[in-house]
Structure 1
Amino acid sequence: MQKSENNLDPADVKILNILQEDGRITNAALSANVGVSPSPMLERVKKLEKNGYIRKYVALIAPEKVGKGTIVFVTVSLAMHQLAALDNFTEAIRELPEVLECYHISGEADFLLKIAVSGIESYRDFVVNKLTPIAGIDRIRTAFVLDTVKHSTKILVDD
Structure 2
Amino acid sequence: MKISEVSLDATDLHILRLLQEEGRLSNARLADRLKLSETPVWRRLRRLEEEGFITGYQALINRKKLGIGLVAFVRIVFANHGNEQPSQFEQAIMSIPEILSCHNVAGEADYFLQVVARDLEAYGEFVSNVLRRLPGVAEIQSSLSMREIKSSNRLPLPLA
TM range (shorter): over 0.9
Local SS of the residue matching 1:4: helix
CA deviation map 1:29-81 (0-9, x unaligned): 21122222111111111111111110000001111111212111101000111
TM alignment of 1:73-152, pairs within 5 A: 73-152=73-152
Aligned-residue Cα RMSD (Å) equals 1.3
Q: Per-residue deviation at 1:89?
A: 1.1
Which deviates the most, 3-12 or 117-126? 3-12
Aligned-partner Cα distance in 1 for 2:110–2:15: 36
Cα distance per residue 1:70-122 (max 9 Å; x no partner): 11110100011125121121122222221111110111100000011000000
Contact (CA 8 Å) 2:77, 2:111: kept in 1 or not?
Answer: yes
Q: Which runs of 5+ in 2 are unaligned?
A: none
Paired-residue identity, %: 35
User: How many positions carry a matched residue from both structures?
Assistant: 157
> Does the aligned pair in 1 maintain the 2:86–2:135 contact within 8 Å?
no
**TM-score, length of structure 1 as denominator length:** 0.93
Instruction: Give the corresponding residue for 1:34.
Output: 34
Distance (whole Å) between structure 2 residues aligned to residue 47 and residue 107 of structure 1: 38
Q: Report runs of 4+ in structure 1 exceeding 4 Å deviation.
A: none
**What is the CA distance between 1:154 and its match in structure 2?**
0.7
Deviation at 1:135, TM superposition (A): 3.0
On the 8 A contact 2:73/2:144 being kept in 1, the answer is: yes
CA distance in 2, matches of 1:67, 1:83: 39
